[in-house]
Amino acid sequence: MGGSETDNLIYDWNEQERKGALLSKVPRFVDESIRDGIQSPSVRDPSIDQKMEIVRLMDSLGIHVVNLGLPAAGKRAQDDVEALLRMIVEEKLSIRPNCAARTVVADIEPIVEISQRVGMTIEVTAFIGSSPIRAYTENWETERLVRHTREAMSFVVRHGLPASFVTEDTTRSHPNTLEKLFRTALEAGATRLVLCDTVGHATPDGLRNLVGFTQNLLSDMKLQDSVELDWHGHNDRGLALPLAILAFELGVDRVHGCALGIGERVGNTSMDLLLLNLDLLGQLDPAQHDLSRLVEYVSMVASYTGVPIHPSYPLSGEDAFRTATGVHAAAIIKAQRLGDRELADRVYSSVPARRYGRAQVIEVGHYSGRSNVICWLSERSIEPNDDLVEAILGVAKKSDHTMSEAEIRSVIAGRG
């Protein structure tokens, strides 16, 4: 038994009462790992060579767009953006570039100059604060926001670059303000609106209401076929991932995310978990997305930014497919004895480890049973005789942690 036959052993409540396809469009992704991701106060800004490695890996995963940075932040940011853009051109990568900027001409000018020097188009994602709480704090009048929006979008369009208009804190902004800003940006030539949950405020109802409002506005302006929508979410309430999937279900064209969910405060939507879930939902074309390198992508970003991967982090964490619990281990071992790796992968996991380059790992600890010890010894070609199994299990039951390999081998050595 294996593959689809194993699927027959799982009753999938996720699929009940579903009407039609999950997504109406092919999902597309914008990776913010080396822009919004490195705005986290806890990360290390990777070197340019490391950023190049990360972008190449994004490309191999089939990620469509990478935010190369915020050139207005300074000379290093400008140099990195230009070097990365040249690499994309010279190596003929499929991934497309964009850059962030405030809705200020001075911020956009460096992007235009880099694009012209390298000879490749850069999408400009120009952002402006739109919520009443931000306007009150900054003493901003709506007309000032409208003026900045018009000037910035017009400047981008005049220089022949794709203009994406980003409203910061969209999920807490008044619809009257959003309508004024959206109409201004679109009349100036913007071809994309980016809806932002800048402080992770949205719930599923909030997202549904906001997307519906924006879609209705585009329809009223007869722009529903020429203007696309993006969703950019943060994880303050822990809802970033489900909201990202819901955004695609609601018809949003692109969703933004970062490897490992790094970013401001508690971070962004986790790009790797978004890809993982859409793959498990059957929404990704395997010919376009090679997810065998997904764990490598997470590990690389973690290493280069100095952000550790939590042991229980899905898919990429050390404990994702590791157990020392007797009941769990026994079921996995029985499945393995049936010669069915797919069954062993699925009996105690919703994520098939082998599909993403991982494997089930059986350890020995205070919750373990004999089967854990026998499996551990057998995998290392050590004869699991009864005396040795009982000796190891006896030590494990008295411990307060999962035994390390060194600790188990010490027991083995002690018995000659």
pLDDT at 341: 87
Last residue of a domain, one of 305, 339, 363: 305
215 in the same domain as 124:
yes
Contacts of 323 (CB under 8 A, 6+ apart): 329, 332, 348, 360, 361, 362, 363
Q: Rounded to an integer, what distance in angstroms lies between the CA atom of residue 272 and that of residue 302?
A: 12
Residue 1, pLDDT score: 38
3-state secondary structure of 337: helix
Q: What is the 3-state secondary structure (H, E, C) of 356-373?
A: HCCCCEECCCCCCCHHHH
Would you say residue 262 lies in a domain? Answer: yes
CB 270 within 8 A of CB 240: yes
Whether residue 357 lies inside any domain: the answer is yes
Task: Give Cα 46 to chain centroid, integer Å.
Answer: 18
Shared-domain flag, residues 285 and 329: no
Is there a domain that residue 5 lies in? no
Same domain, 368 and 395: yes
Is residue 65 located within the same domain as residue 173?
yes
Domain boundary residue, one of 272, 305, 338: 305
Same domain? 117 vs 47: yes
For residue 89, tell me if it sits in a domain: yes
Asked if 255 and 267 touch (Cβ cutoff 8 Å), the reply is: no
Residue 25's alpha-carbon distances to 44, 164, 251, 252, 255, in angstroms, are 36, 20, 7, 8, 12
Split into its structural domains, the chain has a count of 2
Neighbours of 76 (CB within 10 A): 12
Burial of 308 (0-12, 13-18, 19+ CB in 10 A): exposed
Q: Within a domain: residue 312?
A: no
The closest alpha carbon to 376, from 400, 357, 360, belongs to: 360
What does the alpha-carbon distance between residue 8 and residue 71 come to, in Å, rounded to a whole number?
52
Read off the DSSP letter of residue 340: -
Angle at 67 between CA 282 and CA 43, to 5 degrees: 95
Q: Which residues of the chain have pLDDT under 50?
A: 1-3
pLDDT of residue 21: 75
Question: CA gyration radius for the chain?
Answer: 25
Integer Cα distance of 26 and 354 in angstroms: 26
Contact 262, 43 (CB under 8 A): yes
One domain for residues 293 and 408:
no
In a shared domain, residues 53 and 142 = yes
pLDDT at 4: 60
> Do 386 and 250 fall within a single domain?
no
Tell me what pLDDT residue 31 has: 98
Cα 50 from Cα 56, distance rounded (Å): 10
Tokens 């405030």 correspond to 102
Of the candidates 145, 122, 194, the residue with the CA atom closest to the CA atom of residue 165: 194
Q: Quote the pLDDT of residue 2.
A: 45
Question: Which residues, including other chains, have CB under 8 Å from residue 34's CB and lie 6 or more apart?
Answer: 46, 51, 54, 55, 66, 67, 68, 69
Q: Which residue, 304, 360, 318, is CA-closest to 57?
A: 304
Indicate if 236 and 359 belong to the same structural domain.
Answer: no
Question: Which CATH number belongs to the domain containing residue 95 in this structure?
Answer: 3.20.20.70
In a domain, 6, yes or no: no
In-domain check, residue 351: yes
Domain identity same for 264 and 405: no
The amino acid occupying position 372 is: N
Query: Given phi > 0 = left and psi -120 to 50 = alpha, else beta, which region is 79?
Result: alpha
Per the structure, the complete domain to which residue 388 belongs is given by 322-414
Among 305, 336, 371, the domain boundary falls at 305
Does residue 201 sit in the same domain as residue 339? Answer: no
What is the predicted pLDDT for the residue at 6? 82
Is 246 found in the same domain as 297?
A: yes
In a domain, 176, yes or no: yes
